[in-house]
């Protein structure tokens, strides 16, 4: 596992044991919802509260160390911040995968057609992953 102490400090965050473990969990699993993160954290910190997890997630979001991924009809998941990307979600197994695609044409068309200033694009594709297609 990586040591995220310096990365947390670069985002103006203290490198507490809880934050380091959250970073390690997100690095290992990729995309994690609060319930699963709580289960993971309980294994290392047997008296950690859900409120502590939420508090740390919120401050890590505010400081752009992590990102929230909003999946329609599901609980949000969290991931370590990285370059802009979209997500693929399997409707059968729930797997979430990152995909890097150029959305500049979509963004430009939306801005031109609506005169709306686009700041960010959150795009989630849903379908069936290759593994579930073969089952």
Comma-separated ranges of CATH 3.30.1490.190 domains in the chain: 86-133
Sheet (strand 32-33) strand order = 32-33, 77-80, 66-69
pLDDT tens across the length of the chain (135 residues): 468 999 999 999 999 999 999 999 999 999 999 999 999 999 999 999 999 999 999 999 999 999 999 998 999 999 999 998 999 999 999 999 999 999 999 999 999 999 899 998 889 999 999 999 998
CATH code: domain 86-133 is 3.30.1490.190
Comma-separated ranges of CATH 1.10.10.10 domains in the chain: 5-80
Q: CATH number of 5-80: 3.10.20.600, 1.20.1250.20, 1.10.10.10, 2.40.160.10?
A: 1.10.10.10
Residue 93: the pLDDT is 94
Residue 1: the pLDDT is 47
């Amino acid at each position: 596992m990586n040591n995220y102490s310096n990365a947390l400090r670069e985002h103006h965050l203290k490198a507490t044991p809880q934050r380091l473990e959250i970073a390690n969990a997100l690095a290992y699993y990729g995309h994690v919802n609060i319930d699963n993160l709580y289960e993971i954290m309980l294994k290392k910190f047997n008296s950690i509260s859900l409120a502590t997890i939420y508090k740390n997630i919120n401050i890590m979001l505010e400081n752009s160390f992590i990102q929230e991924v909003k999946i329609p009809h599901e609980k949000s998941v969290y991931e370590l911040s990285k370059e802009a990307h979209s997500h693929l979600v399997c409707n059968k197994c729930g797997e979430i995968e990152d995909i890097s695609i150029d959305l500049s044409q979509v963004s430009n068309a939306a801005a031109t057609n609506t005169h709306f200033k686009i700041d960010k694009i959150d795009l989630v594709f849903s379908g069936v992953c290759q593994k579930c297609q073969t089952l």
